[in-house]
Amino acid sequence: MSTLFNPLINGFHPDPSVVAVDGAYYLATSTFEYLPGIPIHRSTDFETWELIGHVATRPGQLGVEEVPTGGGAWAPTIRHHDGIFHLVITDAMGRGMLHFTATDAAGPWSDGDLLVKADGSGTLEGIDPDIAWDADGTCYVTFSGLQLTGALNPNQPAHLGIQQVRVDLASHRALEEPRSLWSGTGLMFPEAPHLYAIDGAWYLLIAEGGTERGHSISIARGSSPEGPFVGAPGNPLVSARSTPRPIQNTGHGDLVVGPDGDWLCVLLGVRPRSGTRAFSALGRETFVTPVTWDDGWPAIAPVELNPRPGTRVEVDFDGPLDHEWVGIRRLPAEIADLSSREGALVLRADGTTLADSRPVFVGRRQEHLNNAVTVRVDVSGCVGGLAVRYDEGFRLEIEAGRGTVTARAALGGLLQEWSAPLQGDIVDLHLDSAKPGPGWRMVSTSDIFHVGFTADGGERVELAEVDGRFLSSEVAESFTGRVIGVYAVEGDVAVLGWTAEGDDE
């Protein structure tokens, strides 16, 4: 019997899609402006998952180099048809709606073909595409009709509901103008459609209610992939809104038969903390929950919290970077030099800082609510450090060089710094996040960052305590999550070691 851990995939892994192929499961999630893009996790038992690769590993596959914050790789659907893996996704405010293929889900994947309108005038306009085939081999792309281009008010984009087209995959051109399908129960932002043929019927699963506290999943049924669709009497099937559940924002799901023969739903959610459970430090993560069927309709169980044991990760940079490392709008390989100094990761500054859109930064997702990261850096003749990032405007840094260590909190236009002198060039930098201790009123935050450093084998010097709520998805209003990494702003910064340790108690 499989154990369903929740989160299923810890940390910033939103918009999950899963497919079963020959006894294995392959799960894809969104990456927005980060590269490599679109991670693929693999499991045979739904308990242990391995990150086997990414879809976008080469320049140009995703056009994220110039996308605004929040744009980029949105909501993949991964499927397998006639021996080929297919993945469709919207590169929002980048290339557009894309179709990738691979014979091995670990890669390499194709360069990505634009899915274009029937008249060839441009890419299909919408987000969260799904791909499915009927028994005759006709390919259907079903998507959310959110219009990201040409909106008079970018905060109020037009929404055309759930739409669908038949597509010729040889030319990647739609064979018709988009048709409207069923768009839910009337809640805002119908999105994340997935189309399934099950026991002679077609089912259209969607998310609605927005990706915040009102997020939910609903389903409809019809006799054809084109509908007409009739909604389930119990819609929405799952939502955590107005409940005391520890996992909120549950929605954006995908159905699959699990290893024990029972149906499962993978979906996104958040783990908010504070007295009013207001702040989600890690952003949207991947969860899983059982599905049962009655009279032709599925029922999705509420998502139960079941965290994995804590982990410890040590990196000594004696070999290539593993798949967990990401860069911001550029690949880690473009800026991570592992050859010029043995046992070190060297980052060469190029005039950018973390306030810029493409900084010299490589990092890993924060995976646990309680988390401590220490890096050892050699800052002789250079300046760089360790940072936790939500985006350009919401970040916390500890920076060393030129005889000084500085902690810097940049929080939505507000900037505060704390500094101390540094003796020597090799220093351990510390970023620890933990539950608030005594003295915090009514637990009004998600966590507290303790920022400090250790030099010359001496005592740890505490520079600052920073309220973690400012680095949460609700405050940053971010689709991503915390990414912790090393960066350079002047000269060549040598990173000599990395340790991350955390748990979810």
Query: What integer pLDDT is reported at residue 152 of this predicted model?
Result: 46
Q: State mean pLDDT over 82-111.
A: 97
**pLDDT tens across 391-445, in order?**
999 999 999 999 999 999 999 999 999 999 999 999 999 999 998 876 655 578 9
Which pLDDT score, from 0 to 100, does residue 185 have? 95
Q: What pLDDT does residue 442 have?
A: 58
Q: What is the pTM of this model?
A: 0.96
Closest residue by Cα to residue 421 from 396, 387, 397, 455: 455
**Mean pLDDT, rounded, for 180-208:** 96
Q: How many CB atoms lie within 10 A of CB 147?
A: 13
Question: Could you tell me the residue ranges of all domains in the chain?
Answer: 17-300, 311-503
Predicted pLDDT at 437: 74
Would you call 166 helix, strand, or coil by DSSP?
A: strand
Amino acid at 138: T
Place 326 in a pLDDT band, splitting at 50, 70 and 90. Answer: very high
Residues forming beta bridges with residue 141, ordered by sequence position: 131, 165
Res. 154 pLDDT band, cuts 50 70 90: low
How far apart CA 409 and CA 451 sit, in angstroms, is 10
Average pLDDT over the chain, rounded to an integer? 95
Checking if the pLDDT of 81 tops 70, the result is yes
CATH topology of domain 311-503: Jelly Rolls (2.60.120)
**pLDDT surpasses 60 at 57:** yes
Q: What is the sign, positive or negative, of the torsion defined by CA atoms of 105, 498, 282, 62? A: negative
153 confidence band (pLDDT: 50, 70, 90)? low
**Lookup result for tokens 């006709």:** 138
Per-residue pLDDT band for 150 (boundaries 50, 70, 90) equals low
Please compute, for residue 121, the number of CA atoms within 13 A of its CA located in the half-sphere on the CB side.
5
Highest mean pLDDT: which range of 222-231, 431-440, 452-461: 222-231
Q: Is the peptide bond before 36 cis (omega within 30 degrees of 0)?
A: yes
In this structure, whether the domain defined by 17-300 belongs to CATH 2.30.110.10 is answered with no
pLDDT at 2: 76
pLDDT of residue 385: 98
Structure tokens at 157: 């984009």
pLDDT above 70 covers a percentage of the chain that reads 97
Q: How many residues does the chain have?
A: 505
Q: What percent of the chain has pLDDT over 90?
A: 92
- Phi, psi values for residue 441, rounded to 5°: -70, 130
Q: What pLDDT is recorded for position 155?
A: 62
The position carrying tokens 């250790």 is 454
pLDDT level of residue 457 (50, 70, 90 thresholds) = confident
Per-residue pLDDT tens over the stretch 121-136: 999 999 999 999 999 9
Residue 250 CA to residue 477 CA, distance in Å, equals 17
CB 398 within 8 A of CB 429: yes
**Residues facing residue 311 across a β-bridge:** 502
**Residue 157 predicted with pLDDT over 80:** no
Report the candidate in 19, 31, 23, 85 with the shortest Cα–Cα distance to residue 323: 31
Q: Are strands 159-168 and 179-180 parallel, antiparallel or unpaired?
A: antiparallel
pLDDT, one tens digit per residue, over 171-193 is: 999 999 999 999 999 999 999 99
HSE of 436, CA atoms in CB hemisphere, 13 A? 17
Tokens 């899915």 — which residue?
115
